[in-house]
């Protein structure tokens, strides 16, 4: 993220053309902004906060999907969560011409997925109705809504916080991680020999 932001600062418009405007979903505007907006940020504190949270919550998700196949799956998961977060925000604010930038929706997707792994060494996911998932999820969403409505976040003074995008991203991550991990985890071998290498019993 910091590398992308440095590149953004070198662009003539500061990356504004890569941002997402919700109204573009309906007036035929810049649709690629659904994807490109997650690669641009408002300032260094903004990108720094997303990078730290992405590193913290991305690690347990990445461990679910190892090797080259898993790397592709992890990156696709991250971007799909970001796309759904941005599209969700656009649906909530269809007439808005305000620009949306940042990877927060994708990062919240990693957060929702990681919470389903909380305390699980086996790599198995907690059920969505498990209170050990629901309690921290409710706390995070409560803080998310409060920060969004109060409009305060470090380094983002005066900017509108897209808490709805965060919520859509979180929900997407929590729901998609199950089938995603199943699709991208290494497949078990069809036949495992017993430890003592005996012939298998008929």
pLDDT tens per residue across all 202 residues of the chain: 999 999 999 999 999 999 999 998 888 777 789 999 999 999 999 999 999 999 999 999 998 888 888 899 999 999 999 999 999 999 999 988 889 999 999 999 999 999 998 877 666 899 999 999 999 999 999 999 988 887 665 555 556 789 999 999 999 999 999 999 888 876 654 333 344 444 444 4
Return the CA Rg of the chain.
20
Cβ-Cβ contacts under 8 Å for 143 (sequence gap 6 or more) = none
Do the domain assignments include residue 192? Answer: no
Do the domain assignments include residue 3? Answer: no
Decide: 30 and 24 in contact? Cβ < 8 Å: yes
Q: In terms of DSSP H, where are the helices of the chain?
A: 2-9, 24-27, 33-36, 44-64, 67-92, 104-115, 131-150, 163-184
Work out how many domains the chain is built from and give that number.
1
Polymer length in residues for the chain: 202
- How far apart CA 87 and CA 180 sit, in angstroms, is 20
- How far apart CA 85 and CA 20 sit, in angstroms, is 12
Do the domain assignments include residue 29? Answer: no
pTM of the model: 0.86
Do the domain assignments include residue 194? Answer: no
Do the domain assignments include residue 115? Answer: yes
Do the domain assignments include residue 4? Answer: no
Do the domain assignments include residue 52? Answer: yes
Do the domain assignments include residue 13? Answer: no
Decide: 33 and 21 in contact? Cβ < 8 Å: yes
* Structural domain for 136, as ranges: 45-94+103-184
């Amino acid at each position: 993220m910091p590398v992308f932001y440095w590149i953004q600062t070198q662009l003539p418009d500061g990356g504004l053309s890569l941002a997402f405007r919700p109204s573009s979903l309906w007036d035929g505007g810049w649709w690629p902004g659904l994807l490109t907006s997650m690669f641009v940020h408002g300032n260094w504190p903004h990108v720094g906060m997303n990078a730290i949270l992405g590193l913290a919550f991305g690690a347990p998700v990445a461990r679910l999907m190892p090797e080259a196949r898993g790397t592709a799956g992890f990156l696709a998961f991250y971007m799909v969560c970001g796309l759904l977060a941005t599209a969700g925000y656009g649906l909530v604010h269809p007439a808005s011409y305000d620009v949306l930038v940042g990877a927060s929706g994708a990062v919240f997707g990693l957060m929702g997925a990681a919470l389903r792994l909380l305390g699980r060494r086996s790599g198995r996911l907690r059920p969505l109705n498990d209170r050990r998932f629901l309690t921290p999820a409710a706390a995070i969403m409560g803080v998310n809504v409060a920060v969004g409505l109060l409009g305060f976040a470090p380094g983002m003074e005066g900017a509108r916080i897209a808490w709805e995008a965060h919520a859509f991203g979180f929900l997407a991550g929590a729901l998609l991680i199950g089938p995603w991990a199943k699709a991208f985890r290494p497949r078990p071998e069809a036949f495992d020999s017993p430890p003592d290498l005996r012939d298998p019993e008929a």
